[in-house]
Chains A and B, each alone.
Chain A
Amino acid sequence: MAFLDLKNVRKGFAQSVAVENFNLEVERGEFISFLGPSGCGKTTTLRMIAGFETPTSGTIRINGADVTGMPPNRRNVGMVFQSYALFPNMTVADNIGFGLKVARKPAGEIAARVEEMLRTVHLPEFGARYPYQLSGGQQQRVALARALAIQPQVLLLDEPLSALDAKIRVSLRNEIRSIQRQLGITTIYVTHDQEEALSLSDRIVVMSNGRIEQIGTPFEIYNFPTTRFVASFVGTLNVLSAHVASAAEGRLTIDGQEIRASKPLGDVGAGQPINLALRPEIISIDGAADSVPNSTNRLAGTVEDVMFLGPTVRVRVRFGEQALQFDEVNNPHLNPPARGQQITVSFPPEACLILGNA
């Protein structure tokens, strides 16, 4: 049985449905991210696990126990908030020890645990300070230590890095992952940042409009999106309108040029329009035609725009009514393509993601 089990969970409000038909099984020690745009229901789902919202229907089980109607203070679930939510009247040590005091643990045990948590989050000297004396990143570490101090069954993080600047976000992200691995705690992480979700998670739950779009490992979610939403939300994507030449052979045409997908296109008739998605990093300029295999797809077009971004050069190429964009690694010894230049781009058949009818 899964350690955290959500079955047919639904949450409706007066005017709308926030979460619908949500099913998820999380194994002990797994790191799961809920990824989706604002209003997709990811935070509502997290709040239902925490007990701050009650599902309209469905069940939530933690370690086999049904917690669906259980008040939040009896769930033993640690929560880290976007706004840190440290108690301003308490020192860092008192904040971390709060849950243990509430549980009436002996003073010695509390002090030892607080010390241990401060070391875990690399703030051993900060116990006597007040939250207002800490930076945002330090406050969030304290919030993490406070949530972990009670040894929760599940750790819930609600966009914990959103309020921090980019550099601290990356370092704290790595720290969260390393602490989670070290403690082996089952973790649910809510974010709208795909990079965070991809880099942290064992599995990602991509959500849209209150429903699960896809559940998979970061590798699966990025490389094999099953819906158009996932394909477009996770990573950058070129979506091109193609026409089926032969569904069985996986042949398509874009602006009259034939390309090939690695798999048959399914039950689609010849001449039917179809959406084809290509990740930008898989596309390259076909400068040395002899060096690429014959099976590689090629599309000829006109360079419409070139943007120099430092480590990469972003190129937009137009094929009739459509355009695609890709990044070339900056090579100081080679000039980037010029605007208006005719070029050919290439990509392997395996890179063609078929998203269904246009």
Chain B
Amino acid sequence: MRKRHFWPWVWVVLGLLYFFVPLIATFDFSLRARKGVLSFDAYANVFDDTFFYQSFTFSLQAALLTIVISALLIVPTVYWVQLRVPRLRPVVEFVTLLPFVVPAVVLVFGLIRTYSSTLLNSRAGGYSLLVASYVVLSFPYMYRAIDTGLRAIDVRTLTEAAQSLGASWATILLRVIFPNVRIALLSGAFLSFAIVMGEYTIASLLAQPAFGPYMNLKASSAVYEPSALAILSFGLTWGTVALIQFLGRGAPGQTQLGGVR
């Protein structure tokens, strides 16, 4: 019995070391900005930098816009596919997985080639392209979360029940479907949020002042601050995952990423 438990624990400990040692090392390094003592100077420098706030709020806005557009696009699509054309499900699933297949750099070069003489001539145009690209990047996360959420409820019968009570399509979506996939939607939204906040390639090549390029810039111009930023970035991602878990315990009859409650 004792022997049987030994090797699994070895692998678990090795895995934890592999994950945490670099993280702890980075954290330790970020605290050594002042010679001889551990301090949060690097973090203070980051927070004192106006570019940090500018790039962070820029990416925050882009992330929120991405989530809203993505939700408005994907929830009705998944709902309609499940309700009316379930045979198209594999096709839609494949399309939403394309961002995993097509690298971001390919996507952004395609966008630059197509819109260099139109949208990219203006600041608003570039921003629109950035958000549109982020919406595409969010597809796999949003689609999977919402699809799982919708599959956990009997979409067809709930729709018919609402219809028989006089509800229009808009009412059904807003008062029956959206509330019932709220947790799934939040799961997808937080994952998309984490992706967008750390995204570098698209923002950089579209010359947008986002958080990803800012972190990269810092990495080449400062010593301890990049480590502080990496820890902050990790904290942000973990915070969103914790929020998913926290909200996932919430409302009755709700679903979260990964299956039925």
Interface positions of A (Cβ within 8 A of B): 50-52, 71-79, 81, 83, 85-89, 98-99, 102-103, 130-133, 143, 146-147, 150, 156
A326 to B161, CA, bound (A): 44
Q: Can you report 6 A-B residue pairs in the complex whose CB atoms are below 8 A from each other? A: A51-B163, A78-B165, A87-B176, A88-B180, A89-B251, A102-B165
A79 to B157, CA, bound (A): 11
Query: Chain A residues with Cβ under 8 A from B166's Cβ?
Result: 73-74, 76, 99, 102-103, 150
Query: Chain B residues with Cβ under 8 A from A98's Cβ?
Result: 162, 165, 167, 175
Q: Are A72 and B163 in contact (CB-based, < 8 A)?
A: yes
A78 to B162, CA, bound (A): 10
Q: Nearest-CB distance from A279 to chain B (Å)?
A: 38
Is B22 among interface residues, defined by CB-CB distance under 8 A? Answer: no
A83 to B175, CA, bound (A): 20
Q: Are B254 and A89 in contact (CB-based, < 8 A)?
A: yes
Q: Give 1 or 0 for each of B165-180: 1 = CB within 8 Å of chain A CB.
A: 1111001000110011
Number of A-B residue pairs having CB atoms within 8 Å of each other in the complex: 81
Query: Chain A residues with Cβ under 8 A from B162's Cβ?
Result: 87, 98
Q: Are B164 and A72 in contact (CB-based, < 8 A)?
A: yes
Q: Nearest-CB distance from B223 to chain A (Å)?
A: 51
A88 to B163, CA, bound (A): 16
Q: Nearest-CB distance from B149 to chain A (Å)?
A: 12
Query: If A87-B176, A88-B180, A130-B253 touch, does A52 touch B163 (CB 8 Å cutoff)?
Result: yes
Name which residue of chain B comes closest to A91, CB basis: B252
Q: Are B171 and A87 in contact (CB-based, < 8 A)?
A: no
Query: Chain A residues with Cβ under 8 A from B251's Cβ?
Result: 89
Is B158 among interface residues, defined by CB-CB distance under 8 A? Answer: yes
Q: Nearest-CB distance from A151 to chain B (Å)?
A: 11
Is B154 among interface residues, defined by CB-CB distance under 8 A? Answer: yes
Q: Are B165 and A99 in contact (CB-based, < 8 A)?
A: yes
Query: Chain B residues with Cβ under 8 A from A77's Cβ?
Result: 164
Q: Are B253 and A79 in contact (CB-based, < 8 A)?
A: no
Query: Chain B residues with Cβ under 8 A from A146's Cβ?
Result: 161, 165
Is B28 among interface residues, defined by CB-CB distance under 8 A? Answer: no
Q: Are B167 and A88 in contact (CB-based, < 8 A)?
A: no
A88 to B261, CA, bound (A): 12
Q: Are B160 and A85 in contact (CB-based, < 8 A)?
A: yes
Is B112 among interface residues, defined by CB-CB distance under 8 A? Answer: no
Q: Are A79 and B171 in contact (CB-based, < 8 A)?
A: no
Is B206 among interface residues, defined by CB-CB distance under 8 A? Answer: no
Q: Are A85 and B157 in contact (CB-based, < 8 A)?
A: yes
Query: Chain A residues with Cβ under 8 A from B247's Cβ?
Result: none
A83 to B164, CA, bound (A): 15
Query: Chain B residues with Cβ under 8 A from A72's Cβ?
Result: 160, 163-164
Q: Are A102 and B171 in contact (CB-based, < 8 A)?
A: yes
Considering the complex of A and B, which 4 residue pairs feature the smallest CB-CB distances, nearest first? A88-B253, A99-B165, A85-B161, A79-B164
Q: Nearest-CB distance from A93 to chain B (Å)?
A: 14
A87 to B157, CA, bound (A): 10
Q: Nearest-CB distance from A49 to chain B (Å)?
A: 11
Q: Give 1 or 0 for each of B61-98: 1 = CB within 8 Å of chain A CB.
A: 00000000000000000000000000000000000000
Pick from B158, B161, B168, B176 the residue with the most CB of A within 10 Å.
B161
Name which residue of chain A comes closest to B261, CB basis: A132
Query: If A73-B166, A89-B252, A102-B171 touch, does A79 touch B180 (CB 8 Å cutoff)?
Result: no
A78 to B164, CA, bound (A): 6
